[in-house]
């Protein structure tokens, strides 16, 4: 004992704030005034935000045309896989009572399509899709190869790509059908289009895909996805990229086209009668799915976010309710003291 005290005379613990647990600190207290103020302010801002959101959501115009029932014949045809090469199309006339101002977007909406299944989400090859190695199909099971030849693009996601063709026509002057001009590009994220998806670097696309086969469900190979725009082909095809960004829930809508605001459509879609011409390729009825086309305008907060507005309003209202009841409790307790 003596030895240690001689050799190290400083056995006394350091007198530092840290070691003595005396660090300068602020003791947080839930004081009544703070809590009540916080509730009041939160309630107020939630209510305000909710009303703003609801108002802006009200400005959105949306038309949804479910064509699962309407095109029942085609659906029945598609249920049999043997008929994959038989064309089938159907037309759906509909009316837009009020002009849709501004940018109009066309979505396809799928019901009951599980893009979020664990196996499904994994079934893709990012190495292939980024163009490094077009024959890289690791992880693409069960759509990796077809008779030994690698599939490009491989995997269950790519194979199940939505391939209906939807053409919107405007019934101008109730006699003339004008095809509404639509853009099929600029509908994917920039990072997806230019970073995540890249074509293999070859002079021409078909030779880049040499040694691979198209996915079994596809009618044309990847390099012929867009006959009109040659650069919108292969892995960088916008529709393909949109499809490859898998949805979180079994009911989802994906952007299909956006309105090209020219001619009659500079202000958006005028009111009047329209028709949809659908080339029906994508079977959904077998797993009780449904398909529809959605036409919609947007606001600053995106598409129809009625839920968000309602949720904010309700939260604000409940917070204020809580504020008043807590106030009452507090006041009675104070009195009792």
Contact set for another protein, span 235-274 (CB under 8 A): 242, 245-255, 258
Residue closest to 143 by CA, chosen among 210, 213, 235, 205: 213
CA angle 87-85-135, nearest 5°?
125
Question: Contacts with another protein in 91-130 (CB under 8 A)?
Answer: 103, 105, 107, 112, 114-123, 125-127, 129-130
What is the nearest approach in angstroms of another protein to the Cβ of residue 305? Answer: 5
Least distance CB 260 / another protein (angstroms): 13
Using CA atoms, how far apart are residues 246 and 241, in angstroms rounded to an integer?
10
Query: Least Å distance between CB 273 and another protein?
Result: 24
CB of 281 to another protein, least distance (A): 13
Choices 166-174, 204-212, 267-275, 315-323 (CB under 8 A): range interacting with another protein: 315-323
**Residue 177 CB, nearest approach to another protein (Å):** 25
**Smaller CB separation from another protein, 19 or 206:** 19
Distance from C-alpha of 337 to C-alpha of 303, rounded to nearest angstrom = 53
Dihedral over alpha carbons 110, 112, 113, 119 (to 10 degrees): 160
Nearer to another protein, 26 or 227 (CB): 26
Q: Are strands 145-146 and 252-259 parallel, antiparallel or unpaired?
A: unpaired
Query: 127 vs 172, which CB is nearer to another protein?
Result: 127
**How far, in Å, CA of 158 to CA of 144, rounded?**
11
User: Which element (helix H / strand E) includes 193?
Assistant: none
Applying the rule CB under 8 A, the residues between 142 and 171 that interact with another protein are 142, 156, 159-160
Cα–Cα distance measured from residue 18 to residue 3, given in angstroms and rounded to the nearest whole number: 29
In the complex, the smallest distance separating the C-beta of residue 123 from another protein, rounded to whole angstroms, is 7
Please count the residues of this chain forming the interface with another protein, following the rule CB under 8 A: 103
Confirm if 246 and 116 have CB atoms less than 8 A apart: yes
3-state secondary structure 271-306: CEEEEEEEECCCCCHHHCCEEEEEEECCECCECCCH
Q: What is the footprint of another protein within residues 46-85 (CB under 8 A)? A: 46, 49, 53, 81
Measured CA to CA, the distance from residue 217 to residue 155 in angstroms comes to 11
279 to 298: interface string for another protein, x by CB under 8 A: ----x--xxx-------x-x
Binding another protein (rule: CB under 8 A), the pick from 3, 7, 13, 266 is: 13
Restricting to residues 14-43, name those near another protein by CB under 8 A: 14-15, 19-21, 23-32, 35, 38-39, 42
Q: Please, which residues have CB within 8 angstroms of residue 255's CB and are 6 or more apart in sequence? A: 105, 106, 107, 187, 242
Site for another protein in 178-197 (CB under 8 A): 187-192, 195-196
Residue from 181, 315, 317, 324 touching another protein (CB under 8 A): that is 315
């Amino acid at each position: 004992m003596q030895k240690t005290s001689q050799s190290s005379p400083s056995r006394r613990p350091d007198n530092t704030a840290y070691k003595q647990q005396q660090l300068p600190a602020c003791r947080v207290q839930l004081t009544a005034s703070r809590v009540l103020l916080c509730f009041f302010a939160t309630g107020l801002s939630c209510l305000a935000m909710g009303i703003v959101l609801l108002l802006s959501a009200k400005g959105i115009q949306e038309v949804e045309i479910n064509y699962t029932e309407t095109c029942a014949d085609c659906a029945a045809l598609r249920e049999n896989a043997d008929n994959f090469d038989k064309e089938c199309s159907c037309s759906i006339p509909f009316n837009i009572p009020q002009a849709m101002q501004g940018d109009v977007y066309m979505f396809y909406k799928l019901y009951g399509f599980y893009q979020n299944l664990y196996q499904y989400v994994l079934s893709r090859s990012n190495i292939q899709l980024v163009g490094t190695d077009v024959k890289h199909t690791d992880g693409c099971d069960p759509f990796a190869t077809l008779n030994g030849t690698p599939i490009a693009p491989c995997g269950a996601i790519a194979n199940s790509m939505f391939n209906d063709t939807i053409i919107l026509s405007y019934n101008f002057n109730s006699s003339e059908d004008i095809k509404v001009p639509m853009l099929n590009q600029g509908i994917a994220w920039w990072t997806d289009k230019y970073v995540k998806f890249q074509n293999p670097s070859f002079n021409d696309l078909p030779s880049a895909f040499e040694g691979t086969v198209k996915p079994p469900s596809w009618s044309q190979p990847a390099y012929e996805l867009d006959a009109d725009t040659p650069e919108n082909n292969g892995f960088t095809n916008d529709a393909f990229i949109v499809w490859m960004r898998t949805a979180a829930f079994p009911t989802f809508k994906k952007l299909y086209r956006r309105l090209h605001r020219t001619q009659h459509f500079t202000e958006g879609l005028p009111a009047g009668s329209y028709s949809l011409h659908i080339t029906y390729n994508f079977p959904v009825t077998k797993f009780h799915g449904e398909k529809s086309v959605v036409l919609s305008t947007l606001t600053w907060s995106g598409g129809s976010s009625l839920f968000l507005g309602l949720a904010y309003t309700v939260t604000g209202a409940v917070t204020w309710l809580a504020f008043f009841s807590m106030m009452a409790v507090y006041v009675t307790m104070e009195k009792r003291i």
